[in-house]
DNA sequence: AGAGTGATCATG
DNA sequence: ATGATCACTCTC
């Protein structure tokens, strides 16, 4: 019985760039969470870039540095996971370098490994269909078992939470759709910036 | 379209 | 200490 061949983990340098470039480059890569020895994994199909200190939609707007958002100030490749609306977790991948609080929100996955477990993790009936199992930032965290306890993990060497390289080059721009970010209407002129990226025609993105 | 849910944050 | 807010989801 040959061991399953896994793809290589993304190195530090992959993450150490601007959040718009990282948001595009993460599309098509595989997010993995190992739970009790089982791999739960999905292909990233939707992301949003958060631009840090000048960005009115970002948790680090005006240089805010709090207990909650501390991970955003760490080096690229760390996870920033926060809890919101009293119910949901959202996961970000920190971009850039230590001291520059920018990040990419993971908004949707195409489930590929551990799908039965992911279904058990999801409470709502909407999680039954494959295309709505991970089609939103809160849904994918619930399905993958990602919570606040993962915030600050360094995905370059964490044994449980990491991202594997599935493509050497980012998708060409012709394959990526761009829109305003979701749920940031409060952010005034930043609400309409084209900072959401998703794979065209992919059925697993949010806002079906 | 509205409810649910509680950590988080800025005020005072 | 307190009150408003929230990078959401589900069901109506």
Could you tell me the mean pLDDT of each successive run of 10 residues in chain A, 208 residues long?
Answer: 84 98 98 98 98 98 97 98 98 98 98 97 86 98 98 98 98 98 96 98 91
> What is the DSSP annotation of A137-155?
HHHHHHHHT--GGGTT-BT
**What is the model's pLDDT at position A148?**
97
**What is the model's pLDDT at position A144?**
98
> What distance in Å separates the CA atoms of residue A9 and residue A70, rounded to the nearest whole number?
24
Q: Is the CB of A168 under 7 A from strand B?
A: no
Closest by Cα among A79, A80, A72 to A98 = A72
Closest by Cα among A1, A23, A6, A5 to A14 = A23
Which nucleotides of strand B lie under 7 Å from a protein CB?
4-10
> What distance in Å separates the CA atoms of residue A169 and residue A32, rounded to the nearest whole number?
20
Distance, CA of A169 to C1' of C11, in Å: 41
> What distance in Å separates the CA atoms of residue A10 and residue A32, rounded to the nearest whole number?
12
**What is the model's pLDDT at position A127?**
75
Distance, CA of A21 to C1' of C1, in Å: 43
Q: Is the CB of A174 under 7 A from strand B?
A: no
> What distance in Å separates the CA atoms of residue A76 and residue A116, rounded to the nearest whole number?
32
Residues 84-143 of A with CB under 7 A from strand B: 84-88
Q: Is the CB of A61 under 7 A from strand B?
A: no
Q: How far is CA A161 from each of CA A19, A65, A123, A149, rounded to the nearest angstrom? A: 20, 24, 22, 11
Helix (H) or strand (E) holding A115: helix A115-121
Nearest nucleotide, CA A151 to C1': B7
């Amino acid at each position: 019985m040959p061991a399953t061949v896994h793809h290589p983990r993304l190195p530090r340098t992959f993450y150490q760039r601007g959040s718009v470039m990282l948001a595009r480059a993460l599309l098509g890569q595989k997010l993995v969470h190992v739970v009790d020895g089982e791999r739960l994994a999905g292909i990233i199909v939707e992301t949003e870039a958060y631009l840090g200190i000048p960005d009115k939609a970002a948790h680090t707007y005006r240089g805010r540095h709090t207990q909650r958002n501390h991970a955003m100030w760490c080096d690229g490749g760390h996870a920033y996971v926060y809890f919101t609306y009293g119910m949901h977790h959202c996961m970000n991948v920190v971009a850039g370098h230590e001291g520059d609080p920018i990040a990419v929100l993971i908004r949707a996955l195409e489930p590929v490994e551990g799908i039965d477990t992911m279904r058990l993790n999801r409470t709502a009936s909407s999680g039954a269909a494959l295309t709505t199992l991970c089609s939103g930032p809160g849904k994918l965290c619930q399905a993958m078992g990602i919570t606040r306890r993962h915030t600050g993990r360094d995905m370059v060497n964490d044994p449980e939470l990491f991202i594997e390289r599935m493509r050497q080059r980012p998708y060409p721009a012709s394959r990526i759709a761009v829109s305003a970010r979701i749920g940031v209407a409060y952010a005034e002129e930043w609400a309409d910036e084209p900072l959401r990226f998703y794979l065209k025609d992919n059925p697993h993105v949010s806002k079906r």
